[in-house]
Amino acid sequence: MKKFFIFIFVIAIIAMLVKGLDGENEKTSEPQGTVPAVNGLNVPATQQKLMDLLAAQETAYFGTTQHEEREALATEQEQALCNEIGYDIKDWVGTIESLKTVSGKSGAVEIKVSDKLTLMTWSGSVADGQDDSLIAPNSDLFKALTGLKAGDNVRFSGRIAPDRTRCYRYANLSSRGRKKEPKLIVLFSEIKPL
């Protein structure tokens, strides 16, 4: 059964790649390497690829009913994301979902990049301990965030926090949550308004 779902997952990835290759020769008015998506924003190709892979993985994950199979599949899928996407984020786009000061000083941000995917810092210093994702109050990034608010469209860069077990660090505790509405921890280096 596990092999069947892996086969379905591989077919879904191949279909996405073939679809992407078919569309390469079409003339569009969109900037090269972007596609329209989140809130009408042009999304970089790597960001779209991540969203497409996550959608395919969600379908495959919820297509099996056995807990052990789901957990094994989730681990394989999460490693595949790292292999396909890597950790670096450059000029991705999204909408600020939440922006606040935590622990009396550091900045925490959540950026929605699709209906289901959120890229974020941790929301407290205890959880952030080993990642250092919270935004230092004396940094240029913190100063840049002072003029922004929830609902603002932004362009951002950074690095997805690595995790030894899952490859990417998720704020979600369960594999079900990681597949349904993933929340990835990001070490943001730049966030600017669009």
Question: What is the number of alpha carbons within 13 Å of residue 38 lying toward its C-beta?
Answer: 28
Whether residue 20 has pLDDT greater than 70: no
pLDDT, residue 37, reads 55
How far CA 73 is from CA of 64, 98, 140, in Å, comes to 9, 31, 41
Q: Which residue has the higher pLDDT, 33 or 129?
A: 129
pTM of the model: 0.77
pLDDT digits (tens, 9 = 90+) for 121-156: 998 888 888 888 999 999 999 999 998 999 999 999
CATH number for domain 88-193, candidates 2.10.25, 1.10.357, 2.40.50, 3.30.70: 2.40.50
Whether residue 29 has pLDDT greater than 70: no
pLDDT digits (tens, 9 = 90+) for 64-122: 888 888 888 887 888 888 889 999 999 999 999 999 998 778 999 999 998 889 999 99
pLDDT digits (tens, 9 = 90+) for 157-184: 999 999 888 889 989 988 888 888 999 9
pLDDT, residue 3, reads 52
Among residues 150, 156, 146, the alpha carbon closest in space to that of 186 is found at 156
The pLDDT confidence band at residue 30, using thresholds 50, 70 and 90, is very low
Whether residue 36 has pLDDT greater than 80: no
Q: What is the CA radius of gyration of the chain?
A: 17
Element (H, E) at 102: strand 88-102
CB 144 within 8 A of CB 191: yes
How far CA 50 is from CA of 33, 55, 81, 114, 147, in Å, comes to 14, 9, 7, 11, 29
Backbone angles phi, psi at 171, to 5 degrees: -80, -20
Whether residue 31 has pLDDT greater than 80: no
Percent of the chain with pLDDT over 90: 39
pLDDT digits (tens, 9 = 90+) for 107-121: 999 999 988 899 999
Neighbouring C-beta atoms of residue 160, cutoff 10 Å: 22
Say which residues have a Cβ less than 8 Å from residue 92's Cβ, sequence separation at least 6. Answer: 43, 44, 46, 47, 113, 119, 155, 156, 157
pLDDT, residue 173, reads 87
* All structural domains of the chain with their residue ranges: 2-85, 88-193
Neighbouring C-beta atoms of residue 58, cutoff 10 Å: 17
**How high is the mean pLDDT of the chain?**
80
Among residues 17, 65, 96, 70, the alpha carbon closest in space to that of 179 is found at 70
Q: Give the separation between CA 83 and CA 76, rounded to whole angstroms.
A: 11
